[in-house]
Amino acid sequence: MGRRGAGGACILSGKATFTDSTISGNWSNGTNHNAFGTGIENYGTLTVTDCVIRDNSAYFGGGVYNRGTAAIQNSTIWNNYAFASGGGLYNATGGTLVVSNSTISNNWADCSDGTNEGGGGIFNTQGTLTVTNSTVANNHGCYNGGGIYNDNGPLTVKNSIVASNVARSGPDVDDGAMTAQDALYSLIGVWDDAPLGDSNKSGTSSMPLDPELDDWTQFDNGTWGYDLLAGSPAVDAGDNTNASVTDQRGFARIVDGNGEGVSQIDMGAIEYLSDAALPVLSIGNVTQTEGDSGTKTFTFTVSLSGTNTLGASVSYATADGTATAGSDYVASNGMLSWPAGDTSRKTISVTVNGDTTVEPDEGFTVTLSVASGNTQIITPTATGTVLNDDNQPPTVEANPTSVTTDAALATAVTLTAAATGTPAPTVTWQMNTGSGFTDLSNGGVYGGVTTTTLTVTGAALAMNGYQYRAVFTNGTAPDATTAAATLTVNAALGIAPTTLPAGVANTLYHQTISVSGGTTPYTSFTVSGFSAGGTGLTLSEITANAPDGSGTLSSATVYARISASATANVSGNLTLADALHSSVNKSLAVSGTVNPVVTTPPITWSNPADITYGKALGATQLDATTSVPGWFSR
C-alpha cells in the first residue's frame, strides 16, 4: 500500500532504472488526486526495460504515473486499474513518456471521479507522449479512449497497433486533433475522425480493422504479449526509418515476414517471424575409424542459415553413448559465435583415442543448446560414430541340423547357422549332391541362400541325402565353414490298392489295404466313409489297425458278403497323419466295383453208391462235401 496514497512500489524524484523486474500487487487507499501510480510514481528520470508491471491499482495511473521523463521499452503493462483515468499509464502535465517495443493490455480506467475521461491503456494530459513499435490492445476506458486518451498534449504513434480496445467514445484512440503527422505506419482498429494518411491502416465503428493477434503468451525474456498471426495486416507494414533492430522479445526486426522478398518492419511490439525468416542452426554427424594408436580428430560442422541480423551464438557439449569419455574420447564443451551478417560454417573438434581392441562400433553425441539472436536450432544433436577397425575373422557359433521331409511336401524345412566376426561376416550356403560342395542360388526350391537361414520348399525324392553347409566370410582370413547337415526325403504317403478287385459270388469278400511312404512315426490311422452300393452286397465289417510302437503302419481290411449274380461297389477313405503331418491329415481314398465271379463248386460224395429205382437210399448215401463255400441242393 502506498504511503499517503502515492506510489505503492516507488516514489521517484531522482533517477531510477528497472530491468528484468516484475512490479505487481500494489494498491493505494488515497482519495481523489492524492492516489498516483501505485506501480511506479515518477517525478525524475525513469527507465524501465524488460519488465512486467501488472495487477496494480490507483486513483490515477494504475501501473505508472509520470510527471518527469520516462522511457518504457521491451516491457508489459498488464491488468492494472485506475479509479479515474490512466489504467495502465498516466502521463501528467509536463511529463515526457516514450513507450517502445512494449505491450499495454487489459488495463481499466473506471472514470469513477465523474470527469468522463478514461484512457484505459494510456492517459496523456498536457504531456508529451510517443508510442513506437508497441501494441495497445484489449484495454477498457469507460468514456473516452479505451486504448489511448490524449488530452491536449503532443502525441506521436508510429509502427504501432492500437486496436480491440473498448470505450464509449474513441474506443482505440480518442484525440480529435490527431493527424497523419501524428500517426505514422500504424494500425488503428477504429478511427472515425479525419483520414490519417496512406501510411496508416484503420477501420471504423461499423467495420473495425482486426489486427489478427495470436493468443496472450509469455516470452523467453519474461514479458507477455501477442504474436501476430500469419496474414495479419500489420506484417511488413511499418517504416524501417530509425526503427529498432529487435522487438519486445529481443528477436530481430526488419525481416521479410510475408515472403515477398523485401525486409520490412512490422507494426506492433512483436515481429512476425516465419520459419523462412528465422536464422537456423544445425550440426552434422561424423563417422570414421578410431585407428590402432594415438588419436584422431572428429570434426563436426555447425551451419547457420537464414538472415543473421543480430549476431548469433550457441553452446555445445559432448555426451557418452556407447563410447565413454576418457577411455574412448575426450569430453568437450564450449560456445560458437557469429557476428551480425556472418553465416559461415563453424566446427567443433573432438579427440578420439585409438586402440587395437576388437569391439563393436561405438558412439558419442554433440548437442547444441541455448542459441541467441532469435536463432532456431533445427538439428540439435549430432552423433560421432567410431568405427571399429580391428578386424576379427569369422567364427562359427551354430551348425545347421539335419532335417527330414516328405517328397513334394509344400511346407518348407529350414537349416540355420550362425557366426561372429568383425566386421560382421556375410554368408553363402553350399550344396553337395555327391560330387562335392557348390554355391547355391535363390530360386526353385531354395530361398535365403545368402542369409543365416536356408529354406527348402517342395523337396523332391531325388534330393534324399543331399548335404548343405554355410560358409562365412568378412575379408579377414580364414573363412569359417559349418559342419554339413543332411536332408532326408521320404517317399510320399501312398496306399495299395487304390481300386478294389472283384470278389467271388456267394463268398465272404475281404481285401487288405496297405499304406506306405511318409515319415515315421505315424501318429494316426483311421478308416471312415466306407459304404456299399448296388444289390447283392452286404458290408459286414471294416477294421483298422493302429501303428505299432516302431511307427510301422498296419493295414486296413474290408469284409463283405456278396450274393450270386450281383454287381456292387465299395468306397471309403483312409485318414493318415505321419511325423510331418502333426496338424495336417492326409486323406487317401480307395474305391472300386466288386464284380462277382460265378463258379460251380466241386462236390465230393462221402458215400457214393448207385441209386436203384424203387430201392430205399441209405442213411448217408447222399452226404457230400465241397472244397469252396457255396450252396447246392439234393
DSSP string for 220-289 = TTS-EEEEEPTT-TTTT-S--TT--SB-TTS-B-SB-SSSSS--BPPSSSS----TTTS-EEEE--EEEE
Sheet bearing 453-456, strands edge to edge: 413-416, 453-456, 446-447
pLDDT band at 563 (very low <50, low <70, confident <90, very high): low
Confirm if 68 and 95 have CB atoms less than 8 A apart: yes
Element (H, E) at 416: strand 413-416
What is the rounded (10 degree) CA torsion for 8, 11, 15, 21?
A: 0
**494-594 maps to CATH 3.30.160:** no
For residue 246, the 8-state DSSP code is B
For residue 588, pLDDT over 80 is answered with: no
What pLDDT does residue 253 have?
A: 86
478, 283, 279: which is closest to 381 by C-alpha? 283
What pLDDT does residue 624 have?
A: 56
Beta bridge partners of 295: 353
What pLDDT does residue 2 have?
A: 40
pLDDT band at 308 (very low <50, low <70, confident <90, very high): confident
User: For 280-387, which CATH class?
Assistant: mainly beta
What pLDDT does residue 143 have?
A: 87
What pLDDT does residue 549 have?
A: 42
Model pLDDT for residues 26-38, shown as the tens digit of each residue: 887 645 556 676 7
State what percent of residues in the chain have pLDDT above 70: 73
For residue 553, pLDDT over 70 is answered with: no
Residue 608 CB contacts under 8 Å (≥ 6 apart), including other chains:
none
Instruction: Kindly tell me the number of DSSP H helices and DSSP E strands found in the chain.
Output: 0, 56
Please give the CATH topology (third level) of the domain spanning 393-488. Immunoglobulin-like (2.60.40)
What pLDDT does residue 572 have?
A: 61
Residue with more model confidence, 578 or 332: 332
> Distance between CA 91 and CA 624 in Å, rounded?
151
178, 148, 153: which is closest to 165 by C-alpha? 148
For residue 7, pLDDT over 60 is answered with: no
SS3 5: helix
Beta bridge partners of 281: 304, 377
Residue with more model confidence, 76 or 280: 76
Confirm whether pTM is higher than 0.85.
no
Confirm if 266 and 274 have CB atoms less than 8 A apart: no
SS3 589: strand
280-387 and 393-488 share one fold: yes
CB atoms within 10 A of CB 495: 17
Beta bridge partners of 280: 305, 376
Q: Where are the domains positioned within the chain?
A: 3-202, 280-387, 393-488, 494-594, 602-634
Among the residue ranges 131-145, 334-348, 532-546, 564-578, the one predicted with the least confidence is: 532-546
Q: What is the mean pLDDT of the chain?
A: 82
Confirm if 118 and 146 have CB atoms less than 8 A apart: yes
